[in-house]
A and B are shown apart, each in its own frame.
Chain A
Amino acid sequence: MTVALDGVRYRYPAADSDALRDVTLAFGAGDVTLVTGRLGAGCSTLLLVAAGLAPHVTGGARSGSVTTLGADPASDEGRRQVAGRIGFLLPTPWTQLSGMSYTVREEVAFGPANLGWPRDRIGRAVSGAMALVGIEHLADRDPRTLSGGELQRVMLAGITAMDPEVLLLDEPTLELDPEGARMVYRLLPALAREKTVVLATTDVDRAVEVATRVVLLDRGSVTADGAPDDVLGTDRAVALGCSTTVAEIARVAGHAAPFPLTVRAAVRRFAR
Chain B
Amino acid sequence: MTLGYRPGTGVLHRAHPFTVLVLAGTVAVLAFTLPAPLGPMLLTAGTVAIAVAARVSRTLLTALAFAAPFWVFLVLIHVVFGDSPDRAVAVGSQISAVLVVFLMTLAAVHPGRLVDALLERGVPFHMAYLLVATLQSVPELQRRASAILDAQRCRGLRVRGSVWGRVRSVVPLAVPLVLGALGEVDDRALALEARGAAAGLRRTPLDPPHDRLAERVTRWALLGSVLGTIAWRIFA
Q: Which residues of A contact B (CB under 8 A)?
A: 48, 51, 53, 56-58, 79-80, 83-84, 86-90, 92, 95-102, 106, 109-119, 122, 142, 144, 158-159, 162
Are the CB atoms of B190 and A48 closer together than 8 Å? Answer: yes
Q: A98-B195, A100-B115, A159-B194 are in contact. Are A106 and B206 (CB under 8 A)?
A: yes
Are the CB atoms of A110 and B195 closer together than 8 Å? Answer: yes
Does B161 reach chain A (CB closer than 8 Å)?
no
Minimal beta-carbon separation of A30 from chain B (angstroms): 23
Q: Mark B176-217, 1 if CB is under 8 A from A, else 0.
A: 000000001011111111111111111111100000000000
Minimal beta-carbon separation of A181 from chain B (angstroms): 21
Q: Can you name 8 extra interface pairs (CB under 8 A) apart from A58-B190, A113-B205, A114-B203?
A: A53-B194, A83-B196, A84-B196, A84-B199, A87-B194, A88-B190, A102-B110, A115-B201
B interface majority secondary structure: helix
Q: Supply 24 A–B pairs (Cβ within 8 Å), ascending by A.
A: A53-B193, A57-B189, A83-B201, A90-B194, A92-B187, A95-B187, A95-B188, A95-B191, A96-B194, A96-B195, A98-B197, A100-B132, A106-B112, A110-B197, A111-B195, A112-B204, A113-B205, A114-B199, A114-B201, A114-B203, A119-B204, A122-B204, A122-B206, A144-B143
Complex Cα spacing A114 to B198, Å? 8
Minimal beta-carbon separation of A35 from chain B (angstroms): 17
Complex Cα spacing A51 to B193, Å? 10
Closest to A119 in B: B204
Complex Cα spacing A231 to B115, Å? 49
**Which one of A109, A114, A144 has the greatest number of beta carbons of chain B within 10 Å?**
A114
Minimal beta-carbon separation of B122 from chain A (angstroms): 15
Chain B residues 100 to 132 lying within 8 A of chain A, measured CB to CB, are 110-112, 114-115, 125, 129, 132
- Chain A residues within an 8 Å CB radius of B200: 80, 83
The interface size bin for chain B is: 35 or more
Complex Cα spacing A57 to B7, Å? 34
Minimal beta-carbon separation of B177 from chain A (angstroms): 15
Are the CB atoms of B203 and A116 closer together than 8 Å? Answer: yes
Minimal beta-carbon separation of B130 from chain A (angstroms): 11
Are the CB atoms of A158 and B195 closer together than 8 Å? Answer: yes
Minimal beta-carbon separation of B75 from chain A (angstroms): 38
Closest to B195 in A: A111
Complex Cα spacing A51 to B195, Å? 12
Closest to B185 in A: A95
Are the CB atoms of A57 and B112 closer together than 8 Å? Answer: no
Closest to A82 in B: B199
Q: Within the complex, which residue of A100, A114, A115, A142 is in contact with B136, where a contact is CB–CB below 8 Å?
A: A100
Are the CB atoms of B203 and A96 closer together than 8 Å? Answer: no
Minimal beta-carbon separation of A236 from chain B (angstroms): 32
Q: Within the complex, which residue of B190, B201, B205 is in contact with A53, where a contact is CB–CB below 8 Å?
A: B190
Complex Cα spacing A92 to B205, Å? 27
Closest to A99 in B: B136
Q: Which 5 residue pairs of A and B lie closest in terms of their CB atoms, listed nearest first?
A: A83-B199, A114-B196, A88-B194, A96-B191, A95-B187
- Chain B residues within an 8 Å CB radius of A162: 195-196
Closest to A122 in B: B204
Complex Cα spacing A113 to B203, Å? 5
Does B66 reach chain A (CB closer than 8 Å)?
no
Are the CB atoms of B140 and A99 closer together than 8 Å? Answer: yes
Are the CB atoms of B199 and A118 closer together than 8 Å? Answer: no
- Chain B residues within an 8 Å CB radius of A53: 190, 193-194
- Chain A residues within an 8 Å CB radius of B140: 99
- Chain B residues within an 8 Å CB radius of A79: 198-199
